[in-house]
Amino acid sequence: MKKTTLQLKSLTLLFFLTTIFSFAQQIEKCATDKLMEIERQKNPAMFDHNRAELEAFTRNYKLNNVSSKSSMMVTEIPTVIHVIHNGEAEGTYPNMSTVQLTSAIANLNAAFQNTGVYAGSTFYNSPMNVEFVLAKVKEDGTVTTGIERHNVAGKSYASEYDNNGISAGGVGVDSVVLFNDYFWNPQDYMNVWIVKKIDGVDIGTGNSGILGYATLPGTNPGVRDGLVCQARAFGYNPTYSSSNPGATPGYDFGSSLFPSSGNGTADHEVGHYLNLQHTFNGDNNGTVCPPVSGTVGADDDGCADIAPHKRTNSICPGDSATGNDCTGGSNENIHNFMDYSSDPCFTGFSNDQRTRVHAAVDGPRVAFKTSIAANAPSGNYPAAVANTPVKTVAGSFLGGVFEVSINGNTFKSLSEYNDGFYLNRVASQPTITLVENTVTNITVIAGLAGTNDELVDVYIDYNNDGAFATSERVHQSQPASAIAGAAVAISFTTPMVGGFVNNQKLRMRVISDFDNHGSTIANAYSTQIGNIEDYSVIFNPTLSVTDNEIEVGAISIYPNPANSVLNIKNASNKEITTLTIFDALGRSVYTNSGTNKVSVENLGDGVYFLKLDFENNNSVTKRFIKK
């Protein structure tokens, strides 16, 4: 009798172990949590500080119902897809076809906006005000399709990449090494890396493996900020069928073993990128039920409208009335993109997830709201700088430029810890219009309150020669003058005509660096604990004007500068039909039907452009100053 019991126990234990083992093999498909923990271990205090701050912001955002206020606005997310390959022909794994890559973008929009195949879903159907758009301009101002194919042949890691792909803790090329070569500034672009293998596994050969991972905001992403997808798990090829099996199908998030027309891996990883946790977050690797939480930010997924469950409860199909192993209720979690479920079951995101995503694009990823990286290149971009910026102290810090305000425009970013030490924004943020021989004010916020004090220097490459001369330094801060997180008010006078290149975008460089109370910032090309951000400024831009039928000089405006009323003298023989005022960033701030005067009383001081539309599609644009 005893013996039999023991045997039974052994069998039970064996079955139990087999079950756990097979789950462990099957469910480790997203490496986000694992990599976050690795980053956390490097500096737990800084990691926890950043995450706690973001959770507090998110909680407050939900309490104040900010999401509903900003719900009218759609945030465009300019996306660059870096396809990393070893020279395979386009369309051959892992150098996936354009049709497959763009199918992922279309699906991301359907998933996040709850449209297309996801419209009208029963369980999770909260539409988000985000739109994924392929970038049209590179960091340097040259054109891109938003799909960048990179052949690593010739790189020191080429054969390691060919054999094992990228490492997510296992074998393969270190992602920091790889992405250093293929990385666009993470404030203005969402970087997506399409890789051959992760930890040496090609899921297409029937092996289970990691399909992707992403960086949540505030998790020391640096040059890794973005998402990684296994080449077969990003989008699908709509031309795939049993009669055309050569076309690559998509690979299901739940099981890499069968073709899918879904895009679950990318939908899931972008969710992480926009600050969503797994629906089973806090289950201690499937061993306990996560805490029930009514507030955003508790030790679960931060979403009160998703019932706590274990990751072992994520089998698709398999929902039933008592399917949830924590609550005994329905396990509708399998329909949520942030579960470890499968493409056929995924339908969408919850309302609380929507709030978290909106908080992310109004918080740590707010630069997308002003990014113009999805616009085609326009005008002449600043000359490239011969000296590539370098960082002279190892490690990543909470220092750096956080905010630059000039002529009524504000550009936001995060610390070096998040963004890396150099952001090139000359083409991805709007160009700032400057006026010659004019006192110009810039406000810079550098450093994070309570951390290192940061000095701030500003240069403008007036002669556009790709170097920053001392004479081009418009502001230099003095040692011991800085207070971390406090606004630095900068005032300088722009040169007279002749002291700059006219009608040409020029590089403005904002540098913040550790105030060691002994010396000024060493130069314009390196930082220790801080970062460098580049912007475009322009004097006297020529806007696109189609005045073929309006004789030169026929239109004048006065007085200029104007204080209350701007008068328009129209000596042409055409009627003005519409009048529009644009600010220096090209945003329309006022429009009216044809008139010969306009009130400017309500405009803030600064540079504006008055665009007059005439009959027969003619138009004239005039610059004026409100004082």
**Residues at the site binding Zn ion, with contacts judged by CB under 5 A:** 30, 32
Closest contact distance (angstroms) between CB of 402 and Zn ion is: 29
Closest contact distance (angstroms) between CB of 169 and Zn ion is: 14
The full DSSP string for 423-446 is EE-TTTSPPEEE-TT-EEEEEEEE
Closest contact distance (angstroms) between CB of 272 and Zn ion is: 6
The residue number whose beta carbon is nearest to Zn ion equals 30
d(CA 548, CA 546): 6
d(CA 413, CA 404): 9
Closest contact distance (angstroms) between CB of 278 and Zn ion is: 5
User: 36 or 579: whose CB is closer to Zn ion?
Assistant: 36
User: 30 or 537: whose CB is closer to Zn ion?
Assistant: 30
User: 32 or 144: whose CB is closer to Zn ion?
Assistant: 32
Closest contact distance (angstroms) between CB of 32 and Zn ion is: 4
Angstrom distances, CA of residue 286 to CA of 178, 282, 289, 324, 414: 32, 9, 8, 13, 34
Q: Hey, which residues does 590 pair with through a beta bridge?
A: 581
User: 313 or 452: whose CB is closer to Zn ion?
Assistant: 313
User: 268 or 507: whose CB is closer to Zn ion?
Assistant: 268
User: 91 or 286: whose CB is closer to Zn ion?
Assistant: 286
Closest contact distance (angstroms) between CB of 38 and Zn ion is: 15
Match 């923990």 to its residue by tokens: 37
Closest contact distance (angstroms) between CB of 80 and Zn ion is: 21
Q: Is 194 left (phi over 0), alpha (psi -120 to 50) or beta?
A: beta
Helix/strand/coil (H/E/C) assignment for every residue in 389-407 = CEECCCCCCCCCEEEEEEC
Structure tokens at 386: 């011969």
SS3 332: helix
Helix (H) or strand (E) holding 15: helix 2-27
Burial class (CB within 10 angstroms; exposed 0-12, middle 13-18, buried 19+) of 3: exposed
User: 278 or 505: whose CB is closer to Zn ion?
Assistant: 278
User: 148 or 343: whose CB is closer to Zn ion?
Assistant: 343
User: 232 or 311: whose CB is closer to Zn ion?
Assistant: 311
Match 């945030």 to its residue by tokens: 75
- Which of 212, 130, 122, 208 is closest to 166 using CA atoms? 212
User: Helix (H) and strand (E) counts for the chain?
Assistant: 10, 27
Closest contact distance (angstroms) between CB of 315 and Zn ion is: 16
Instruction: State which amino acid sits at residue 251.
Output: Y
Closest contact distance (angstroms) between CB of 30 and Zn ion is: 3
Q: What is the DSSP letter of 552?
A: T
Instruction: Report residue 435: phi and psi, to 5°.
Output: -120, 135
